[in-house]
Structure 1
């Protein structure tokens, strides 16, 4: 029953994320509008679940010192994964800039599109493991964690589609590669469900790790996006949506 719930949730998140990306292919203005406000909601949801649900639950299961170590590990792992992707992305763009676009043969898709797929696959795999770990601890916690994953996955997927289209991948390839990347979440969920219980007291470590990852995503990837909005009214609206995202899980 728990496994079916985990797989059902992971499939639902993957489908929703793909729909968000497909929306960009055919209704770019809608996708951009949706993404702008989903980012604010995702910030509140990620931080709310991390600080108000995952960390308190982890502290009940293990000492606060160990929980903080696992949280820091989560931040480090997410940072290193993202940093590696950004390094390759930067070097790919340098190559493009140096060679220009004057020759027809250079109009082919460049590596950044494939690097985005690899990075997304790794990220989705971790999401699957985190969702499985949360459900193994408590059904409600699993649902809250899944909701936080969903709200940050939607704008991320729209962004990934946009980058891959800019990298001159065809619409079919963009969809196919993102579909493959989403399937790694299912793999992560299955491995998490079957193998995490083998390790003693895995719950606290995984919950704290997930909290660290959520805090990193919200603070470094999503929050800076909100600073692009300069108008006071829109900024206040973003903050209101952020607050709604924070209290909605409660």
Structure 2
């Protein structure tokens, strides 16, 4: 049954984020001081990821009965692991543009790594860099989406509510990345539609990751708390090492307040989705508990009746006078 939810959720997160990114680009995501801009999207995604990790995935993992020290060790391992993937240019796929900037300093984009990561796809570094970077970008994006699918499957296996929250968080943090993907691929594709198709195909790897993740977690169900902790480490790393550093700029008070507001909005969205999804979940459990209490009560009363009858019978027998002896 979980698989029936995992596949639609992973497809929605992997491909839906591409379509939302394309729609936002068509509407116009502005980089100025007014309206919706990339900073707002990054703040929203960071809030959603942090809320999912700290308020949902980690609490669920720690309820599994595993020694906390082992789960914290798994969390540390996950953060270091995703850092190494980042360094290997497999987890985040914006690094090739930074290298292009170093190779072509005359273009005026020879910023440090933090700034290049802050605008992972915003700069063009010449036709050669675009041609070679397109396939590298799609490869990295596919690996990233595959990993997201495994994380979503792990969450769904623990609880359908967690799965929905994880899928929404993945979708939120993929939208800003896919906007950058489309900007780069438009330079190497015949049309904007072709660029959308390429990124969407990479997004389908989320469903493949979900399928494999479901099978893996089903086979290793006792390891589910560790899978949830690894999912949390991914969300925490992406939020703290990728998204939030892009927001660490000297901005006017109004723009800073907007960033904080969108960060809070991301947390609120995850909380709202969790509440809506948990409403039916609580209702089912509450109904079951009530039914259990009702059954227990019926049994208790039946037992009382039985005891009462037995007691009454014994008392009646005791009160019946013995016949007089002749």
User: Which category of TM-score, normalised to the shorter sequence, fits these structures?
Assistant: 0.7 to 0.9
List alignment gaps of at least 5 residues for structure 2: 107-125, 272-326
- The alpha-carbon deviation at position 38 of structure 1 amounts to 2.1
Query: Does residue 26 of structure 2 align to residue 23 of structure 1?
Result: no
Give the aligned partner of residue 117 of structure 1.
138
Q: Name the one with the larger helix percent.
A: 1
Q: Is the 8 A contact 2:138 2:199 kept in 1?
A: yes
CA distance in 2, matches of 1:87, 1:225: 14
Give the aligned partner of residue 211 of structure 1.
232
Stretch deviating more after TM superposition (186-195 or 87-96) = 87-96
**1:229/1:18 CA distance change after superposition, 3 Å:** farther
Over residues 174-232 of structure 1, what are the superposed CA-to-partner deviations in whole Å (9 max), with x where a residue is unaligned?
22321221111111000011122212522111110011110111111111222346121
Query: Does residue 203 of structure 2 align to residue 182 of structure 1?
Result: yes
Give the aligned partner of residue 45 of structure 2.
42
Task: Tell me how large the CA RMSD over aligned residues is.
Answer: 2.6
**TM-score when scaled to structure 1?**
0.86
**1:59/1:226 CA distance change after superposition, 3 Å:** same
**TM-score when scaled to structure 2?**
0.67
CA distance in 2, matches of 1:194, 1:16: 24
Name the count of aligned residue pairs.
243
List alignment gaps of at least 5 residues for structure 1: 99-105
CA distance in 2, matches of 1:185, 1:120: 10
**1:50/1:25 CA distance change after superposition, 3 Å:** closer
Over residues 87-140 of structure 1, what are the superposed CA-to-partner deviations in whole Å (9 max), with x where a residue is unaligned?
655545555669xxxxxxx84543222211111111110110010111011111
Q: Which has the higher contact order (CA 8 A, sep 6+)?
A: 1
Q: Is the 8 A contact 1:127 1:185 kept in 2?
A: yes
- The alpha-carbon deviation at position 64 of structure 1 amounts to 1.3
Q: Is the 8 A contact 1:24 1:162 kept in 2?
A: no
